[in-house]
Amino acid sequence: MVVLLATGGYDATVRLWDASSGMCYRTLSHPDRQVNTLCISPDKKMIAAGGNGTIKLYDVNSSSPEPVVSYDEHKGNVTCIGFQRHGRWMYSCSEDGTTKIWDLRAPSYHRDYECRSAVNTVVLHPNQGDLITGDHSGAVRVWDLTANRCVNELVPDGETPISNISVASDASMCVAANYNGNCFFWTPLSSEEYMPIKKLEVHKAYVLSCRLSPDVRFLATTSSDHTVKLWNVRDYSLAATLAGHTKWVWDCAFSADSSYLVTASSDAYAKLWEVTSNEVVRTYSGHSKGITAVALNDAAPIESDGMGLQDDDVVLSDRYTANSYLDERLRELGVKT
């Protein structure tokens, strides 16, 4: 099984690592300032990197350090990126107050949802039909992609900005973190109804990211207090405090089997932790400045089925020529598709 581990940060590079040895085997150029967010496509063929108004797609199997394509429609920092389960489309959010959906067969975005303030995070519900955003105004919004509008708005802590959102793989729980050090838990009953479960103080400082483990046993939180904490989802108790970073811990990612956690910090290191022992088993060193984003994909690749976004019962892939925009760019660069 191919394990893809990528990090990005303030040194304007994306680095690919051999997860076992800790060696960096490839460095990708990201010239438009820092990397804010990373995501690996479900088929493990592409890495998306979000920066200052841009989203760049890199071909994992290419020898070129340059991106295959760059999307420039955001007007502010791109704060979060994700892919639909089969890689049919990509979504993103930005400090420009928008959340966008991109059909990768087209050179521009397909949908654009506007919020009243900077959007810090977005996640796709496991039903693949709802996008959930968190913004600087303190709102969590649910966007129904079929209805093409916001159908639910939650304001858990006044105007305190939402920093990150995570949804359980079985859709049993949604968690939002904020700058007051709190996490808020809901049970999604429907797109329009999220039942509040719990408010939990997880740090005394900013919570920068929160991630539910794939087996939904643990919640990992990272903070400006330099620590990572693991919480038991069953009873909301603290399972462990992972101390090893010396500056803000910006991001984290679980392995597919929930046994390992990778963290990224302003101290310019990424660390691989074993969840059961709470020990660091590998440290990744090579960035010259702080690391702000990490992406890990050690699951079996999910191949695209070739379908596009559904819009008014029209499949977007039918609107374009048989050769997608991305395929055309790959061929221009001499990459076989």
Q: What is the mean pLDDT of each run of 10 residues along the chain (337 residues)?
A: 93 96 95 93 97 95 90 95 94 98 84 94 97 98 96 98 98 98 98 98 99 98 99 98 98 98 99 98 98 96 63 32 44 52
> Half-sphere exposure of residue 159, counting CA atoms within 13 Å on the CB side?
2
Q: Is 318 helix (H, G, I), strand (E, B) or coil?
A: helix
Q: What is the pTM of this model?
A: 0.90
| Total residue length of the chain | 337
For residue 121, list its beta bridge partners: 134
- Interior angle at CA 124, CA 62 and CA 11, nearest 5: 45
The alpha-helical segments, DSSP class H, found in the chain are 325-332
Backbone angles phi, psi at 149, to 5 degrees: -160, 170
Predicted local confidence at residue 332, as pLDDT: 56
> Half-sphere exposure of residue 196, counting CA atoms within 13 Å on the CB side?
11
The candidate with the shortest Cα–Cα distance to 219, out of 208, 207, 211, is 211
The two three-digit tokens of residue 38, written as one number: 């990373």
What is d(CA 154, CA 165) in angstroms, rounded to the nearest whole number? 12
Predicted local confidence at residue 116, as pLDDT: 86
Q: Is 327 helix (H, G, I), strand (E, B) or coil?
A: helix
Predicted local confidence at residue 105, as pLDDT: 80
- Which residue ranges form the domains of the chain, and what is each CATH number? 4-332 (2.130.10.10)
The torsion defined by the Cα of 313, 319, 325 and 326, in degrees rounded to 10, comes to 30
For residue 230, list its beta bridge partners: 220, 240
Predicted local confidence at residue 106, as pLDDT: 78
Looking up tokens 């539910």 gives 212
